[in-house]
A and B are shown apart, each in its own frame.
Chain A
Amino acid sequence: MTAVIDDGLNSPGTHALIIGVSAYDYLMGSSESECSEQGSDSGLGQLSAAARSASQFATWLMTDYRRKNFPLRSLRILLSPSTEDEVSLSLKEHLEEDSIPTREHVSTAFRKFKQAAARNPDNVAIVYVAGHGVQFTNTGAVLLLKDFAHPDHEEERYRGAVDIRAMHESMTYTNGARSQFWFVDICRQRAPDAKEFEELAGVLKFNKVINTGSSGAATCSPLFLSASSGEQAFAKPGKLTLFCEALMSALVKGHAASSDGERSSPWLVSTSGLQMYLRKTVELLATCNDEKQLIECTGIFSDEIFHECEKAPDVDLTIQIRDGLPVAHYSAKLSHIGRVLYDNHTAWPLHASIPAGLYKIEVTTLTTNEKDSDNLNLSPPSRIKELPL
């Protein structure tokens, strides 16, 4: 049973499929089997962050995902961890033999996921996959599964792989969930030889059934690809992929959220909020690690809600005196909607975690008694403000 959750109800809700492949049986460094010739030719080895990232995203879905009228109704998870600690304890107890992401299990899980997502046209469907990958166009992506490079697949190089774009096409243009969100956290390096641009030998595909008329197609089905075409996706060894790290801060900390409704409405993470935040943050995280990684987005775009945050996100604010200036010469007052948070503050630097919003800062130069002020737009995740203004 790959379904960790499935309430079987037809009422509107959210259905998710998560696949994370860190351990590969026939690639270099496998603890299960000997590396095959094809595995050796591929130059690919074991991963340490893909299953961990998938596990973390799945755990977040189970515990903290919020959509008022679309509760999580089904969740299917297939994980292949390299080490025990890659999978959270709360998930481990649900995983069984068919939770291993082989071609056969992924095929079955996807079929059941698709059926569950089609129970109600108003459903939300979420897919997250992580692992090794290759790409053939700038809108496509292929995920390599645990049994990739199996010696029996010699004649069909991609038999142990699933075409995520084909999955996406088969879900988007049929009578399924109206809102879909696809996160593809894989490398998108070029396929090894040109012939394969035409045909991916043996790759797991899914039928695309066209509706006559567009009423059954999804209105929103963005495909977030963690790396640009031909590029690598990076991870911190033993931690999360950079894409997942950005995704989790977008969702857990609400860093991609904005309030686009009534005063009483929650902060919302929308398609465009996610896209802009992931784009900026993944590039920043990669740059901090001396790498380059740019996300791409394809599929069908409309500004749907992905997640509702409970409160405004916090911002890590640092106020410091500009280098070379005497810290004892300045005091500041920080206020927000008439409420004073800091008054006559003189201990620099000031570090504070405060709700996102518009703040007023008034600075006094103590030696001259000169006063100056500025308006600050504090948006997550952090802001450094230097004094004097």
Chain B
Amino acid sequence: MNEIAPKNVNLNIRVKSKFNFGGRDTKIDIRDSELILIEKLTTRREFNLPPGLYEISTFLGDGKRTSQVVEVFESQLTVINLEPDLDYQPAPPKDNSQFKKIEELNQDNQLGLTILDEDTDFTIYSAESYWIVQHKDAMQKMPVITLEKNGSYIQASLPISQGHRYSVTCHVKQVLNSKYGHVEINISQSRAMAFGLECMLKSGQIIKAAEVASNALEALIEKYTDPTGATLAALILYKTRRLDDTSKKMLINLARNHDWLPDAKIILALYLAHTGDLDKSMKLACEASKKRILLTESFSLLFDLLRYWPDTEHNEKRNEALARLAQIAPLVVWRSMYLTTTVNGD
């Protein structure tokens, strides 16, 4: 699209994204014809560039690198629009009463998957090949969906919680022979910030995710009350060594205020172990090992923390915690993002 150029501006970039404060803080890279980076991680939207071809690229919270090649002219305004390429998710119902308890669900499932009611405290809305799961009540434990198919059982932790109105749902997609164990679990797109973090983690954009994780951690704890989303942000900060004193304080609050969510304790335990506070770290690690964990990676990192523990002082507690995890480890579907275990019925 070419328009009359405002003075000294020949390129205008418009970003449409729910991520990064409605796209306002989305950082953009601009490369010239030789793909040399001429603008790095800029939040500017108007430029006056020499005529030529340019590549405009960014990450819009969909886990993909969005890029466009544009031709810029000396005295003509070129406008480009960057939008995320989101995978399809059905919308939740406007009427909340359409979310049903498991016993009220019509379980006529084409893939032969049946949801079992294992003392669950969440509700479900069926839409196409998805279950949209929400949690409205006070959190007592990690929400876990239990499925049965041909005598085999699948249990998956769900990234939902009581909290902000956007933080309560996730989408569970039923997939035949999925590598994740017949279901693929995603945070609902309405939780833009948490969904963006999840997408970037899944697609391996860990360093890009780290650029927004610090602000996200604060927002997901203090503004939106989305503890499972905040856990993703904390994991990203840990993996990129960006957990600092400020984020540590937030992590302590997250662990203290959401006792049902052991992942916050695990990340805190990892951080404390690497900074030499072994007593506190072991206490948190042991507490976390007694509860159902949300993320497969947290489970694995906790296992490694205990297995490679640097001293023998805590051996008894360490071995007890390891033994608890070792009961579950052989059943884990390691490729799933949210801790999923499978058991054959025979």
Binding site for B on A (CB under 8 A): 136-140, 165-166, 169, 173, 190, 194-195, 197-198, 205, 207-214, 217, 219, 228-230, 258-261, 263, 271-272, 275-276, 279, 294, 297-303, 312, 336-337, 355-360, 375-377, 379
Contact = CB atoms under 8 A, between A and B. Distances in A.
Contacts of A355: 34
Nearest to B210: A301
A303 B33 CA distance: 24
Contacts of A228: 334-335
B343 to A, nearest CB: 12
Interface stretch (B50-58, B160-168, B282-290): B50-58
B144 interface: no
Interface stretch (B17-25, B64-72, B109-117): B64-72
Q: Which 10 A-B pairs have the closest CB atoms?
A: A229-B334, A212-B276, A358-B53, A138-B334, A137-B300, A194-B330, A375-B69, A198-B326, A197-B329, A197-B326
Contacts of B53: 358-360, 375
Contact of B71 (A260, A299, A375): A375
B276 A197 contact: no
A298 B300 CA distance: 11
B276 A297 contact: no
Contact of B329 (A136, A263, A294): A136
B297 A259 contact: no
Given A272-B207, A360-B71, 10 more contacts: A137-B300, A139-B303, A169-B304, A197-B325, A197-B326, A210-B273, A229-B335, A258-B35, A356-B35, A377-B67
B35 A358 contact: yes
Contacts of B35: 258-259, 312, 356-358, 379
Q: How large is the interface on B (under 10, 10 to 19, 20 to 34, 35 or more residues)?
A: 35 or more
From B31, B205, B307, residue with most partner A Cβ within 10 Å: B307
A29 B29 CA distance: 54
B240 A197 contact: no
From A136, A198, A209, A214, residue with most partner B Cβ within 10 Å: A198
A258 B208 CA distance: 15
A303 B40 contact: no
B241 to A, nearest CB: 5
A308 to B, nearest CB: 15
B45 interface: no
B314 to A, nearest CB: 13
Contacts of B310: 207-210
Interface string B65-102: 00101110000000000000000000000000000000
5 contacts: A138-B297, A169-B308, A194-B329, A217-B274, A228-B335
A352 B231 CA distance: 48
Contact of B308 (A166, A214, A275, A297): A166
Nearest to B273: A210
A358 B308 CA distance: 49
B156 interface: no
B5 interface: no
Interface in B298-345: 299-301, 303-304, 307-308, 310, 322-323, 325-326, 329-330, 332, 334-335
